[in-house]
Amino acid sequence: LPICEPGTLVAAALDGDGDRCLLIETTSTGFKVIDGDRIADTFVNCVTNSGFEWHLAASIESDLSLTTNLERYPKQVRVSETAVGDRWLSFKLSENQNNQFVVSNSFPQVIGVEDSGHLVMASPHPNISECWSLVGDGAMTLVAYLLSLSNFEPSTAMKRGWKQRQSVKNVDREKWDGENQLSNKVEQLLRKKLSEFGDVSSWARTTVAGENNLMLINCSFSGSKLSIGVRNSGTQAKISVSARLEYGGISNGIQEAIDAVCDLLAKQMINH
């Protein structure tokens, strides 16, 4: 590729069935990926700068800074956290209704996002007036991003938080359900390890609809929001630990906690 000014969009990549889109942008030292979280933030930045309130749904894998520090937007943004998968984004944006159209006489003010580049937006029904489907389409995502740049305010863009995802492979997934004794041990170990590195408060163990084996820990870690999820893969013999820390947080000690949990899961779930 020829040398371009930093910030130049040089490529777009769609997945095999065309419902995801990632972009490539130049930097002063090379190139970087614009993921779904940044695409969604740019879009919401634009529409709120245009005077609209919006509903943003993001999966548990999205950057935590996307759904926090919402005062950066000039209009109100309502946020929902969902399970992984576009159907759960659509479910939440449809106000917890399955397979229902959004009824509106104007473009519905909703968007759903996964960091993988899967964005869910409204598309008008071809035969029923004032009815909208919620769909993921990579080409539509690309066009929406390009249009959003026309009224995008860089000074209020999302500042990226810290993320890490680590997996243990070749496990017996039946040994984890997010509620059993092993789950309790993992929770205790997480809290113990994190407390060795920082102040831990506002501890809450929860889950989200659609993630039947997810154990989701939300807490304050040295004054910043931290979210850690442990869940089985839906298709492979592995279990993953995902940590997300909002922008400005100090991540010291989180990787050590993840490593300790993965070691415990390997000992308890791998059949030797």
Both 30 and 120 in one domain: the answer is yes
Output the domain CATH number for residue 140.
3.40.120.10
Domain count, the chain: 2
pLDDT at 231 over 80: yes
Q: What are phi and psi of 36, to 5 degrees?
A: -60, -35
* Percent over 90 (pLDDT), the chain: 88
CA atoms within 13 A on the CB side of 209: 12
DSSP string, 193-258: HHHTTS-EEEEEEE--TT-TT-EEEEEEETTEEEEEEEEE-SSSSEEEEEEEE-TT---TTHHHHH
Q: Which pLDDT score is estimated for 210?
A: 87
Using CA atoms, how far apart are residues 248 and 220, in angstroms rounded to an integer? 13
pLDDT at 87 over 80: yes
Both 71 and 189 in one domain: the answer is no
User: Which of 137, 156, 175 delimits the end of a domain?
Assistant: 156
Q: Kindly state whether residue 209 falls inside one of the protein's structural domains.
A: yes
Q: Which amino acid is at 59?
A: S
Chain center to CA of 191 = 23
pLDDT, mean of residues 145-162: 96
Both 29 and 70 in one domain: the answer is yes
Q: Residue 92 in 3-state DSSP?
A: helix
Both 48 and 121 in one domain: the answer is yes
The answer, as to whether pTM is greater than 0.85, is yes
In the chain, the N- to C-terminal Cα span, in Å, equals 49
58: Cβ–Cβ under 8 A, 6 or more apart, which residues?
37, 40, 66, 67, 79, 80, 81, 82, 112, 113, 114
Both 134 and 102 in one domain: the answer is yes
Q: Which pLDDT score is estimated for 272?
A: 67
Q: ∠ CA(102), CA(106), CA(107), 5° rounding?
A: 70
Using CA atoms, how far apart are residues 135 and 211, in angstroms rounded to an integer? 21
Q: Which pLDDT score is estimated for 4?
A: 85
Using CA atoms, how far apart are residues 117 and 16, in angstroms rounded to an integer? 13
Structure tokens at 164: 């890490």
Q: ∠ CA(230), CA(231), CA(236), 5° rounding?
A: 135
Using CA atoms, how far apart are residues 227 and 233, in angstroms rounded to an integer? 18
Chain segment 4-17, per-residue pLDDT in tens? 899 899 999 999 99
Is the Cβ–Cβ distance between 30 and 86 less than 8 Å? no
Q: Kindly state whether residue 2 falls inside one of the protein's structural domains.
A: no
Chain segment 41-59, per-residue pLDDT in tens? 999 999 999 999 999 999 9
Range of the domain at 75: 9-156
Q: Kindly state whether residue 21 falls inside one of the protein's structural domains.
A: yes
Both 107 and 27 in one domain: the answer is yes
Q: Which amino acid is at 73?
A: Y
Both 120 and 225 in one domain: the answer is no
Structure tokens at 9: 């969009």
User: Which of 156, 171, 188 delimits the end of a domain?
Assistant: 156
